[in-house]
Structure 1
Amino acid sequence: MDRWSGVLKIPLDATNTSSYYRVAASLCLSSSSSSKNLAVPSANAIFFHGDRVRETGNHVIERLYDLQKVAEIIVSKFGNSVNAWVVEASLYNGPFAIYKDFVPSVNRCGEPKSYSPIGFPASSSIVSLLSTFLHEVLSSSKSLTLINPVESADHHCPRTIVLGFSKGGVVMNQLLSEMSFLEETSTGIHERNEIIPASKESFLNSISEVHYIDVGLNNFRAYITDQNVVHRISQRLAQGANMLRVVLHGTPRQWCDEQRGWILKEKDELVRLLKSEGECSGGKLEVHERFYFGDRVADLQMHFEIIDAMDIS
């Protein structure tokens, strides 16, 4: 399958030109006709990057900070039929990434005071951002078109995989909070043959996997530990929502940091809640832990190497 790949700097939407995001994508193309069509993927895998890294002199770190390289890694892990998106924060305070459009309660270092689902900021922003990206791609590449759903042989609904690396984990927490706040009757997935979901509700309902990748903050709330959030998600799953898989990936850099012991405690509490509530979900809420480089001394390189080493099975 052919692919379109590129990095664009785009506004969140046409009405919000104060926030510009760098987004890399690797998108499926259908070559069934003389023109190239953006195909309906099997899944959209959306990766949120962490704090900014500049001129470390370490080629491993700099390679794995590169947005396009990460998009390629995501495709290699989830398969050539997925669309991969890698999002960089629009605002930085020095090195600190600030996802203020996704988590409005963040402070000047990008650390959240809370994860309030009111207004669905993360899911609304993601839908707007991906829609704006596709519009820009189609506007700038005259040879590309959207596939005609009527002619498509693939009658499926793309699922969504979300991944948060380091500071990007705050977006994962916000999304779980928003998933728990959906109306209990809103369990259907989005319409067939859409490349991306058209609404925040369809986006949240399409999420099948949440990956925390060596997340951590210099303050509390690196992981969401609200029992009510996990309980409500479990209830929705039991009442008919699609299965949800949560995978926590970590290294000694975060999980063994004695100076920030709350990271491990919060991770363990989230795992406990997910396992406990999973028993009430009819087996539709799964949790897995993966620990990497346990035989090495913690350093910054392993924090990035986990992107390459990540086991998504």
Structure 2
Amino acid sequence: MGSIRSVVACLSLAAIAKKMSAAAGLCGPGTSAAAPALRRLTSVPGYDQNRVNDVLLLRPARETQGTCDNETEDLQKGNNHVVFFPGDIQNFQQEMALQPDATPWMSWSLERVALILGKRFPGCHIWVIRASQMYLHKFSCYQNFVESNLFGAPEHSPDYGAVRHLRALLGHSMQRAGLSNPLPPLSGTFTPVPLPAGFTLTIVGFSKGCVVLNQIVYELAGARANPELRLFLDSVSDMYWLDGGHPGGSETWVTDKCALGELASSGVAIHAHVTPYEVCDPMRAWVGREHRSFIKTLEDLGACFSQKLHFEDEPASIENHFRVIQEF
């Protein structure tokens, strides 16, 4: 049964790649324009064997006048990476097709989002991290990154291990995928192992996925005291919050001034893209208040910061909530 599922998963990825190639304009080394280099990695461990995540990788490719070539030497040597944390309902295409509540949103499957991000960040390796749990096949729970209930509402703390898990998960994923210059394993000592030359990281969270970014912010002070983790955090160039939201009644956005002070002083470029679906909902007024507090505090701290309210003149809708993935 396991082998049958593996074959079905591979066929599903190939079909999606073929269908989306014309729209995405992507290809990978040694492939045709009809086959972007998507690869699904299952049960990749993080910094301990009890924390595992499925990961989807889209290798970098370059877009030309409607045709694809092999990667240039620069892209082959490139070590730029984008990590994306999706929201509720988003799953692998094959699994979404089996759930009636998910099928209307299959345009936002993990595979399709990877292809969208490949166009948004050309020349980068795109890593889509599937939530470790999907309660009722709908509610993403990032328990490996932040303490959460069944519905994925977080309970943030300064030392849960999100930074360490991300560092190890990304390193193991790079090794599993056979990348030529992967992150080295954590040594567990105060003598950091140098990162690969040119390694840069961009972290993007959408909707529920923003809880991981929030947890990273809460951990910054402690993680930066560790030489290995500080080296990893210094490689983060940008963090994108895309219409963050979760079912809890608070902490949708980080408002703690000490935590935001650590973020502002890190030098990371911070981007907040929202829609009326999250920040203008009168039934969840705290989301908008926290978003405004997040913005004002970072501005007061002199952070490298940008923000945008998308679809401001359109009615709030879940469709536009998802569309921010294309528009940011």
Matched, 1:117 2:158: yes
State the Cα distance separating 1:8 from its structure 2 match: 2.0
2:107 to 63, 76, 79: 63
- Identify, as 1 or 2, the structure richer in helix: 2
Distance in 2, Cα, partners of 1:39 & 1:203: 22
TM-score by length of structure 1 reads 0.75
- Other-structure match for 1:276: 300
- 5 Å-filtered alignment, 1:1-313, equals 2-3=28-29, 4-13=37-46, 16=49, 18-28=50-60, 39-52=76-89, 54-56=99-101, 61-64=105-108, 66-79=109-122, 81-94=123-136, 95-103=138-146, 105-114=147-156, 116-118=157-159, 121-138=161-178, 146=180, 156-183=197-224, 199-219=228-248, 220-234=250-264, 236-237=265-266, 243-278=267-302, 285-310=303-328
Percent pairwise identity? 24
Q: Which amino acid aligns with 2:237?
A: S
Distance 1:256 1:118, change over 3 A: same
* Contiguous gaps of at least 5 residues in structure 2: 1-26, 30-36, 62-69, 91-98, 183-195
- How far, CA to CA, are the matches of 2:314 and 2:321 in structure 1? 12
**Structure 1: how far apart are the matches of 2:71 and 2:119?**
20
Change (3 A) 1:39 1:301: same
Query: Closer, same or farther in 2 for the Cα pair 1:14/1:165, shift >3 Å?
Result: closer
In 1, distance between residues paired with 2:143 and 2:121? 28
Please state how far the C-alpha of 1:130 moved relative to its aligned partner. 1.7
The DSSP-based 3-state class of the residue aligned with 1:146 is coil
Aligned counterparts of 1:286 and 1:31: Cα–Cα separation in 2: 32
Quote the Cα distance in structure 2 between the aligned partners of 1:289 and 1:300.
Answer: 20
Is the Cα contact below 8 Å between 1:216 and 1:254 reproduced in 2? Answer: yes
Note if contact 2:200-2:235 (Cα within 8 Å) is conserved in structure 1: yes
Shift of 1:56: 4.5
Q: Kindly state the Cα deviation for residue 226 of structure 1 after the two structures are TM-superposed.
A: 0.5
Deviation at 1:232, TM superposition (A): 3.0
The Cα shift of 1:58 comes to 6.5
Q: In the alignment, what sits opposite 1:189?
A: none
User: What letter corresponds to residue 22 of structure 1 in structure 2?
Assistant: D
11 and 183 in structure 1: CA distance in 2 versus 1, 3 angstrom threshold:
closer
Higher RCO (CA < 8 A, seq sep 6+): 1
The structure with the greater share of residues assigned to strand is 1
Question: Could you tell me how far apart the structure 1 residues matched to 2:209 and 2:287 are?
Answer: 15
CA contact 1:177–1:229 (8 Å) conserved in 2: yes
Do the aligned residues in 2 keep the contact of 1:218 with 1:260 (CA within 8 Å)?
Answer: no
> What do residues 92-114 of structure 1 show as CA deviations (whole Å, max 9, x unaligned)?
222211111111x2222211222
Q: Residue 65 of structure 2 corresponds to which residue in structure 1?
A: none
CA drift of 1:10 comes to: 2.0
In structure 2, the CA distance between the partners of 1:257 and 1:63, relative to structure 1 (3 Å rule), is: same
* Contiguous gaps of at least 5 residues in structure 1: 139-144, 149-154, 187-198, 238-242, 279-284
CA distance in 2, matches of 1:9, 1:167: 21
Q: How many residues align?
A: 264
Q: How far apart are the structure 2 equivalents of 1:57 and 1:98?
A: 16
Let me know the Cα RMSD of the aligned residues.
Answer: 2.9
Distance 1:233 1:137 in 2: 31
Q: Alignment partner of 1:72: what SS? A: helix
| Correspondence for 1:193 | none
